Structure 1
Amino acid sequence: MHTLLPDPYILMLTGSGLLIALVAWLPLALKRLPLSLPIVCIGIGAAIFLLPQVSLRPLPYRYPEVTERFAEFVVIIALMGAGLKIDRVFGWRRWSITWRLLAITMPLGILAITGLAMGALGLPLAVALLLAASLAPTDPVLAADVQVGPPKTGDEDEVRFGLTSEAGLNDGAAFPFVHLAILLAAALPAGKPWLTEWLTYRVLWEIVGGILGGWLVGRVFGWLTFHIPAETKLARTGDGLIAISATLVSYGLTEIIHVYGFLAVFVTALTFRGAHRDHEFQDEMHAITEQIERLAMMVLLILFGGALVSGLLATVTWIDAVVALVVLLVVRPITGWLGLIGWSGDRGEKLTLSFFGIRGVGSIYYLAYGTNHMPVDNVEHLWGIVGLIVLLSVLLHGLTVTPIMRSLDERRGVDPEATGVPPPGLQGPARDA
């Protein structure tokens, strides 16, 4: 006798097929709407997990290891994608906007959020610092709509370049502050020294090692792909999965020697791109990376939508909500503006760069990593705060990205529809660096 309920495996196959179809179709459907792909994914997740037949409650603090590892995977794929699509040759002056956002905006943001968390939320120093470091990076995953276009399209104005390069580098640059929070949580109660270990190991060694390790892996893959004097060079395969290979090798090898893998992956991507900037294989690598990133992102955000309707925000108070709004509407815009003082961009560009400090998957990863490596009382409350900020960021930035970026392009005399760049981003031609 046949049961009326379908086999869960068959349901999973059907759902996976529908998800893959949405990965391909939704960016096109949303291109002209004031909606973003992350908003739709969260809505789909909320609808799925509200069904009475679905008993799973994907709360991140119930599955801390899974949350950390899955978010980690999504971030490293996004970092490779971000690095591969940057056309601008690396240089201190050409990347000056990036250094401003990294060296001024991010540390000021961490300092401000730490003080806010201690003063308004009553969190201890180590936990407040972990929260601040988790919320510091501009997310490389959810910021796709404000990033540069695919390789060699010339769609790289200052705003899109600044936000793409910032998202690529500050995920690695935030890690020392996460480790500082972990060190303080262990050292302060015991009265142990911590500064020397943090500066020499967590800052100097892990940053320098991550950069060098990423550069070496990028050089090796660049040579094997484009320059090896043989018919077996990897570019001849036409298989963009080589970029995923480079991502995993770079991250794995650098993590083995205990340096910052996030930083290494982005440096690998930049070096790999620089090995042969105009080769058509760059397009193949970027395309497959973007597809895998989008699919993984959609799965994660569907689970995030499920967490929201499963009680992720149950511990959030009105004070937490005020703090969340201050982080998004006050801290990032002000610190972003301070970081851009003296930069030659016009007022509209500065406002856009300061406003789009998108918080997302990177924040989820860092909080999962931190809470898995240090004791945190009432971890549900911390997850509720970060979950609220991520949700507000997705809504606020997702609803405003299309009109703001379109307005920015129009002020620059650019027709975003004339670029021929496929969605999800609305890109415009580059300005001379």
Structure 2
Amino acid sequence: MVPILTFAFAVLLLLGVLISERASRTVLSTAVLFLLGGFVLGRGVLDVIPMEPGDPAVGILAQLALFSVLFTDGMKVGLSDLRRAWRLPGRALLFGLPLTLLITALLAHYLLGLPWLQSFLMAAVLAPTDPVFAAAVVGRTEVPGRLRHLLNVESGLNDGLALPIVLVLLAVTGGTNSAIGVLAEEIGLGIVVGIAIPLIVIGLERLPFLKATKGLQPLLTVSIGLLVLAICQVTGANLFLAAFAAGITVATAAPGFRKEFEQFGELVSELLKLAAILVFGALITPTFLFNEITWSGWVFAALAIVAARPLALFISFLGTRLPAKEQLAAMWFGPKGFASVVYGLLVLQSGISYTNELFHLIALVIVLSILAHSSTDVLVAKQFQAPAPPAP
């Protein structure tokens, strides 16, 4: 299976790179290509990639991908970034995230009839956002810097903020082998490891007789990530929160490290993201999506996208002076991104009650979100373009 998966990934990667320039100007999306590629090649259609939820490759890939993404996400939101402009991201995170989670859980319980614990678990999985699927908004200079900063900081932090909620709810529903007390110790130890290791390495690098050459400086940050990963595996610390804490610590204590690592880290994270999205697509079965998800499931998926976050951010932004156009863009661009993909894989492997229903509902929301948001980002970004000067 591994050679077939590698070949499929290489072909899709080549296609994705070749269409990337056009995709940046149109409604095409590399993420959609990998998602649909995995779906078509998976067990439900062509069965070229006979991927099963219990395959070790699924768990390993999910772990590595989420670790790298949380590490690079953390490096986008050092304390200096938060101090520079924290009011709007703070509202989106402290009010918008819990409200989105609550509204989604209410929809899941009353529309789908799921138990409260499973409803809140699915809501926590779907709460994080990912600006990669709205790159035309976050990456365009014509879009106001305030809006780009809001979406960047929010999406960089909400992955890590939602993760403890997902882990606790999985433990409560019996999806992990850890009791709540043990889980709390793992989370606390992970945060300690994530802060301590970068500070020690940064301190060593600043000694007069220890200095990395400019060409190898990105590898210094890679070594921090690998050390954190290895120590967490040995000690049992939560490696995901350790990765997130390590990224924030590096960005805060050594901004130069972040700058040197940025391009390399983004490429590695993007590769792992796309591989996980390919596997995620291969695990989605058409039979369940189109035959076993009821009309209420489709209504829930639509409302989770067009109602939950927009309503939550509308409430969160009350009293601010954010222009209506920027506010509407922020309310709409809450794409369910890579963190939700991996959290969905964790739910699928947990074996809790309603596992298949939860996974396929999560998958449906993510698929619809990727299609909706990655096909409208360019259109919305164009609304912020200055009008062309009149012809002489």
> With structure 2 as the length reference, what TM-score do the two structures score?
0.82
Q: Secondary structure at the match of 1:234?
A: coil
Report Cα offsets for 1:109-142 as digits up to 9, x if no partner: 2211222211111111211111111111113664
Amino acid in the other structure paired with 1:157: G
Deviation at 1:144, TM superposition (A): 4.8
Q: Which residue of 2 aligns with 1:129?
A: 120
Q: How many residues align?
A: 383
Aligned counterparts of 2:349 and 2:46: Cα–Cα separation in 1: 31
Taking only aligned residues, the RMSD between alpha carbons, in angstroms, comes to 3.7
Identity %: 24
Does the Cα contact within 8 Å between 2:45 and 2:286 map onto a contact in 1? no
Amino acid in the other structure paired with 2:342: Y
Q: Which residue of 1 aligns with 2:34?
A: 41
Aligned counterparts of 2:139 and 2:228: Cα–Cα separation in 1: 23
Q: Which residue of 1 aligns with 2:107?
A: 116
Q: Secondary structure at the match of 2:327?
A: helix
* Aligned positions of 1:188-199 closer than 5 A: none
Aligned counterparts of 1:148 and 1:215: Cα–Cα separation in 2: 29
Aligned counterparts of 1:239 and 1:93: Cα–Cα separation in 2: 26
Find the partner of 1:332 among 280, 290, 309: 309
Q: Report whether the alignment pairs 1:89 with 2:80.
A: yes
Q: Which residue of 1 aligns with 2:247?
A: 269
Deviation at 1:224, TM superposition (A): 4.2
Find the partner of 1:220 among 191, 200, 207: 200
Relative to 1, partners in 2 of residues 1:392 and 1:27: Cα closer, same or farther, differing over 3 Å? same
Does the Cα contact within 8 Å between 1:182 and 1:374 map onto a contact in 2? no
Deviation at 1:213, TM superposition (A): 3.7
Does the Cα contact within 8 Å between 2:134 and 2:374 map onto a contact in 1? no
Unmatched runs of 5 consecutive residues or more in structure 2? none
Deviation at 1:264, TM superposition (A): 3.4
Relative to 1, partners in 2 of residues 1:258 and 1:46: Cα closer, same or farther, differing over 3 Å? closer
Q: Would you tell me which structure has more helix in proportion to its own residues?
A: 2
Q: Which residue of 2 aligns with 1:177?
A: 165
Find the partner of 2:366 among 390, 400, 413: 390
Aligned counterparts of 2:188 and 2:144: Cα–Cα separation in 1: 28
Does the Cα contact within 8 Å between 1:182 and 1:370 map onto a contact in 2? yes
Aligned counterparts of 1:161 and 1:328: Cα–Cα separation in 2: 22
Q: Which residue of 1 aligns with 2:326?
A: 349
Report Cα offsets for 1:41-84 as digits up to 9, x if no partner: 2233344448987443435xx33764444233222222333344
Q: Which residue of 1 aligns with 2:227?
A: 249
Q: Which residue of 2 aligns with 1:298?
A: 274
Does the Cα contact within 8 Å between 2:74 and 2:157 map onto a contact in 1? no
Does the Cα contact within 8 Å between 1:77 and 1:244 map onto a contact in 2? no
Relative to 1, partners in 2 of residues 1:140 and 1:171: Cα closer, same or farther, differing over 3 Å? farther
Report Cα offsets for 1:373-422 as digits up to 9, x if no partner: 46213x222211111100001000000111212323x25x99xxxxxxxx
Amino acid in the other structure paired with 1:172: G
Does the Cα contact within 8 Å between 1:71 and 1:362 map onto a contact in 2? no
Aligned counterparts of 1:156 and 1:283: Cα–Cα separation in 2: 23
Does the Cα contact within 8 Å between 1:224 and 1:234 map onto a contact in 2? no
> With structure 1 as the length reference, what TM-score do the two structures score?
0.75
Does the Cα contact within 8 Å between 2:198 and 2:246 map onto a contact in 1? yes
Aligned counterparts of 1:255 and 1:99: Cα–Cα separation in 2: 33
Unmatched runs of 5 consecutive residues or more in structure 1? 1-6, 188-196, 415-433
Q: Which residue of 2 aligns with 1:425?
A: none
Aligned counterparts of 1:220 and 1:299: Cα–Cα separation in 2: 32
Aligned counterparts of 2:114 and 2:271: Cα–Cα separation in 1: 36
Q: Report whether the alignment pairs 1:30 with 2:6.
A: no
Relative to 1, partners in 2 of residues 1:389 and 1:177: Cα closer, same or farther, differing over 3 Å? same
Find the partner of 1:381 among 350, 357, 364: 357
Amino acid in the other structure paired with 1:182: L
Q: Secondary structure at the match of 1:313?
A: helix
Does the Cα contact within 8 Å between 1:38 and 1:142 map onto a contact in 2? yes
Amino acid in the other structure paired with 2:88: I
Relative to 1, partners in 2 of residues 1:310 and 1:118: Cα closer, same or farther, differing over 3 Å? closer
